[in-house]
Structure 1
């Protein structure tokens, strides 16, 4: 499947902002199940400085600074991504094996997934998460079954309610009130998994939505999405390495049993704090208004075939531009 994503962010400032520095995580990742065919990032007003680097988790972060007064910031990211269904997963690994793999022991080989076992700014350690997850881990013998059971319980026990939480709402508060949005559900599931010693990371991205029958697809009506990725280490004793399996508690879908071609991974981190799409520091602009519009559109196969040559010719140019942001 080929998906075209337009992510538009607009800030209106009163009074004007004099100086600003921003960091954007808006370029999708290249992974085993998706390939970025083209990507552009448009910023108005034109930045004084732009650079793009990779962070410690392999995400592309674009830094830009504005040194002139401005009353509006307009950032538009356009990406063309090819996705495919994930491979089958090994469902024989027990969650206790995973916990023991990451229990500290002198001279154990290092596994980079250990970064995702510990608490992080939005995912604290607390007994409430262990208590909520206990039925899933006590009833299911393998890691994937336990994670799927936990995902399904969050899906059924919690109510998705827009504006019921803020970006900085603690995960424990969302757990107690049983309401939230995709970011909250992802943080809660991650906290539950980490409470049992299982590496789990936060995934930001996009999900292709389908309009109601007979209704047109509305431009800008989609939104960023968030879900969870669980680490499945190699089953062999002493082996280092493994794979990640995605679980979406908001929609009760996982990369183990569902195709997942309609998901686009944007960035990976310990929690939202690592991968917020756009953040920054400004001088001035005491009041601001934010508008965000996201559009995820499937590219028709016939149109893709006809445009493939032009896209491939422009791909190298687009990619080189994005690497010099």
Structure 2
């Protein structure tokens, strides 16, 4: 499956900014089941300095600075990728290891630290009261890890209500758990908290997913959004991805951009601005198959 993604971010400053430093994490990379055919970006006003780098989690990112007065910043990233089905979609979940065996391996010296770091709490993933008990309803003694994860994914999808605008990045995990409301970012963080609270390694995945309009309705340009889901480490299968927002074992419709401990590690665009007054931000994301691209 091939996709084109256009991600545009506009910042408008109440008072002109004299200087800004920014990090853009919107650059997809190749995976065994994802091939990046092209990537390009544009920034207005033109940066005074920019450089491509790779972070601790091996995500690609762009650092840039604008060292002149500007009242608006526009960043557009355009990607073309080809996706294929990951190997895990053909696996029988009942044939995977009992989750306790995976836990024991992760907490031994046999597991690499690059994997083990993902069973710890992080900035947006804390083990609030009751979360371990919630996870253990699915992760019962001796249960195959992938089978248990699929049930947990389904329970979160069923128990929680997708509610745009109810939360923001500062909303505590306890509020999300108590109200059972949020968006994909919240559901990903909650999934991670469940898994890490029982000692399993799981990481945050940021990217995009195609959203389809109602039958008979045209697809609106810019109506898509960034998406978030999680990956659970299963020995022999590597990082297996699950999307609680859509109750999916991820296949060939999720476009990966970056991975980290949580949203703080993979914020699409962040930085420091030297200005006074308020600023407004507008984000537009458009995900299309090549045959749907509007020229």
TM-score w.r.t. the length of structure 2 is: 0.94
TM-superposed CA distance for 1:104, in Å, is 4.6
Q: Where does residue 214 of structure 1 map in the other structure? A: 216
* Aligned residue pairs, count: 289
TM-superposed CA distance for 1:154, in Å, is 0.3
Rounded to whole Å, the distance in 2 between the matches of 1:219 and 1:109 is 45
Q: Provide, for residues 16-46 of structure 1, a one-character-per-residue CA deviation record: whole Å limited to 9, x for no partner.
A: 1111000010111211110110000110000
1:96-175 pair list within 5 angstroms: 96-105=100-109, 108=110, 110-138=112-140, 141-175=143-177
Structure 2 regions of 5+ residues with no counterpart? none
Contact 1:94-1:143 at 8 Å conserved across structures = yes
Contact 1:203-1:227 at 8 Å conserved across structures = yes
Contact 1:140-1:146 at 8 Å conserved across structures = no
TM-score w.r.t. the length of structure 1 is: 0.86
Structure 1 regions of 5+ residues with no counterpart? 235-241, 304-325
Rounded to whole Å, the distance in 2 between the matches of 1:110 and 1:268 is 17
Q: Where does residue 186 of structure 1 map in the other structure? A: 188
1:1-325 pair list within 5 angstroms: 1-87=1-87, 88-89=90-91, 91-105=95-109, 108=110, 110-138=112-140, 141-234=143-236, 243-255=238-250, 260-300=251-291
224-233 or 140-149, larger mean C-alpha shift: 140-149
Q: Provide, for residues 214-258 of structure 1, a one-character-per-residue CA deviation record: whole Å limited to 9, x for no partner.
A: 211110000000001010113xxxxxxx51111000000013xxx
Contact 1:203-1:229 at 8 Å conserved across structures = yes
TM-superposed CA distance for 1:131, in Å, is 1.4
